[in-house]
Amino acid sequence: MWWGGRGQSFNIAPQKEEPEMGSVQESRMPEPRSRQPSSCLASRCLPGEQILAWAPGVRKGLEPELSGTLICTNFRVTFQPCGWQQNEDTPLSSEYDFALVNIGRLEAVSGLSRVQLLRPGSLLKFIPEEIMIHGRDFRLLRVGFEAGGLEPQAFQVTMAIVQARAQSNPAQQYSGITLSKAGQASGSRKPPVPLMETAEDWETERKKQAARGWRVSTVNERFDVATSLPRYFWVPNRILDSEVRRAFGHFHQGRGPRLSWHHPGGSDLLRCGGFYTASDPNKEDIRAVESMLQAGHSDVVLVDTMDELPSLADVQLAHLRLRALCLPDSSVAEDKWLSALEGTRWLDYIRACLRKASDISVLVTSRVRSVILQERGDRDLNGLLSSLVQLLSAPEARTLFGFQSLVQREWVAAGHPFLTRLGGTGASEEAPVFLLFLDCVWQLLQQFPADFEFSEFFLLALHDSVRVPDTLTFLRNTPWERGKQSGQLNSYTQVYTPGYSQPPAGNSFNLQLSVWDWDLRYSNAQILQFQNPGYDPEHCPDSWLPRPQPSFMIPGPPSSVWLFSRGALTPLNQLCPWRDSPSLLAVSSRWLPRPAISSESLADQEWGLPSHWGACPLPPGLLLPGYLGPQIRFWRRCYLRGRPEVQTGLSAPTISGLQDELSHLQELLRKWTPRISPEVHSKKRDPHTILNPTEIVGILKGRAEGDLG
């Protein structure tokens, strides 16, 4: 295969975790420290961070070149431009920080031709003139070292990076940092986004969704049902906690059916793990399982999440290929780019996700029913699909706040194993499912630019945050580990995790920092850019008024049970595998190939959609994405950041410039005419000037000109 030859030069092998942290580091530590350039360097450190080595250098690759200092600490490599730190108020830099785990490849360059690839543990063979740090997040940092007596420092800093990478163990290091930093935070604070760690959060969210047939269950409060589940979740009103506990035992890793989202039209979207087939439930248990899945609806659709979606290994392989393709020195010829891109299959997987999410959105919207996403582990693709479905169907989820809450609920709280999936543990189950999700969201943003409150910049920020070692959001696998580490679970940990030592005093529940505390890494000016100026508030929430729900009657057996697989609904005899024919339970892979009628999208089947196409073709708030070959795009601003030729011009100034001008004008006008009434906006509309886009561009151009000075 085309990328095969590049395998050796691209360090992707999981790092061997060396248990002995000590010897090398300790012997090296004092030396560079004693030569620290100034105290201001140290002041930029995070608590618990130690500077291992530093050297003056010049950031290269972009105009203008910046001189500054390259610093290697025990958990990141950072470049600090001269005169940079004074006017910055964020402890971490979003641009020049590379967490050690984030370093995908490290190269030292000398002269024009000498390039050495530095793996963890390798020895530098020459004094480098330049080092290149390729991030796993597709960023690239090139730092050139000045000659003139400082070569030893250049050598030292490079070696320090090599060794620090070999020794880094994110899970251990970052806990300390987070704890002590949290201790510094002053007073009690409210997290910017509900972290879904308290029953109140769940109750508030439940009310917001008007899910009246549901309640917050506290059965997992001590993580004894499943450590990967959140402490609280939603279950049907009628089901007792004891029934929940029993029912969940019959699901893979105890992840039984929980409500993900309640559609204002009445449908419910549920997620659960695979049936635990070895168990032998009694009649009562089966009934509990069934009524939890049924959630009071007579129409039940079981969605086989894994079907037609890539496996974890597929996702990982595609991502590796994508990264290899996007390296700045990738040898793919320009005219072979497209097939190389196709060969990564990354876009194909995105297409599959969008297609499936779009189908499920239609299922949820078109009639009142219970739709259950079932994935064996319930921790990867279920989160992806359920998040996408909500983004497509619920305008609230498309706001900045709504999206962050969504990620917090469906990914973080739901126990997506971030640390493992993002390669933090070095285990073999690495698969950037979350990054796949972000790319899907980006596709939606491209297709519906006026429907999302957040911008591409926000997605990039989130993309880059997954490995930044400042908060626990993405650095733990389960809510249990996260809570344990942040000291939240003082009262419980002693009982359930005897080996765990009490965290330092002074950490109270509300001192937690999450990735949503953007001001840790981004300046206010950057955070402002998270807003999509093209967001059309007309499309924002409240267009869905909560509707009276069908009351939850005590249902008999559901009148129709379907399996949604291969783009089609197939009737099922029963919901659970245990009762009659146990063979039904292995739902994947045995089903018929997708019917030849695949051109008929589910939307058409459900609605005969085109007959409603017109001015208002879809129920308000529902987006149906395009997922044809030509419509799935390549996220250039993310994946090609490492290439110098595409680093500039990353965002067009036009729209934001226009926005600025608008507020400026309004400000002016407010100053001069305080009493002007809004009705003066008399807008004459001349139908003949309509549809003359050239004029628009002309005007735009004028504006852009003004902005560019």
List all residues 6 or more positions away from 378 whose beta carbon is below 8 Å from its beta carbon: 251, 252, 253, 255, 271, 272, 273, 274, 414
Could you say which of 256, 273, 395, 625 contacts another protein (CB under 8 A)? 625
SS3 131: strand
Sign, Cα dihedral of 115, 118, 123, 129: positive
Instruction: Tell me how far CA of residue 236 lies from CA of 256, 265, 294, 419, in angstroms.
Output: 12, 17, 9, 32
> Rounded to the nearest whole angstrom, what is the least distance from the CB of residue 459 to another protein in the complex?
16
Interface of this chain with another protein, residues 42 to 81, rule: CB under 8 A: 62-63
Could you say which of 45, 368, 540, 650 contacts another protein (CB under 8 A)? 368
Could you say which of 82, 147, 313, 450 contacts another protein (CB under 8 A)? 450
Terminal C-alpha separation, the chain: 49
> Rounded to the nearest whole angstrom, what is the least distance from the CB of residue 326 to another protein in the complex?
9
Binding-residue pattern over the window 319 to 348 for another protein, x denoting contact by CB under 8 A: -------------xxxxxxxxxxx----xx
Please state whether the peptide bond connecting residue 64 to the residue before it is cis, i.e. omega within 30 degrees of 0. yes
Binding-residue pattern over the window 256 to 295 for another protein, x denoting contact by CB under 8 A: --------xx------------------------------
Residues near another protein (CB under 8 A), total: 116
112 in contact with another protein (CB under 8 A): no
Binding-residue pattern over the window 391 to 430 for another protein, x denoting contact by CB under 8 A: ----------------------------------------
504 in contact with another protein (CB under 8 A): no
Residue of 240, 252, 419, 440 lying closest to 346 (CA atoms)? 440
Q: Please identify, using beta-carbon distances, which residue of 187 and 693 lies nearer to another protein.
A: 693
- Phi, psi (degrees; rounded to nearest 5) at 552: -80, 95
> Rounded to the nearest whole angstrom, what is the least distance from the CB of residue 304 to another protein in the complex?
14
Interface of this chain with another protein, residues 562 to 581, rule: CB under 8 A: 562, 568-571
> Rounded to the nearest whole angstrom, what is the least distance from the CB of residue 292 to another protein in the complex?
23
Could you say which of 7, 152, 504, 617 contacts another protein (CB under 8 A)? 617
Q: Please identify, using beta-carbon distances, which residue of 51 and 640 lies nearer to another protein.
A: 640
Interface of this chain with another protein, residues 452 to 491, rule: CB under 8 A: none
List all residues 6 or more positions away from 238 whose beta carbon is below 8 Å from its beta carbon: 291, 296, 552, 554
In contact, 98 and 139? CB cutoff 8 Å:
yes
In contact, 396 and 454? CB cutoff 8 Å:
no
Interface of this chain with another protein, residues 667 to 706, rule: CB under 8 A: 668-669, 672-673, 676, 680-681, 683-687, 689-701, 703-705
Beta-carbon neighbour count of residue 306 at 10 Å? 21
557 in contact with another protein (CB under 8 A): no
> Rounded to the nearest whole angstrom, what is the least distance from the CB of residue 42 to another protein in the complex?
34
308 in contact with another protein (CB under 8 A): no
> For residue 602, what are its two tokens?
């589910």
List all residues 6 or more positions away from 385 whose beta carbon is below 8 Å from its beta carbon: 303, 305, 309, 353, 356, 357, 360, 373
Q: Please identify, using beta-carbon distances, which residue of 369 and 409 lies nearer to another protein.
A: 369
550 in contact with another protein (CB under 8 A): no
Residue of 63, 140, 150, 147 lying closest to 103 (CA atoms)? 140
659 in contact with another protein (CB under 8 A): yes
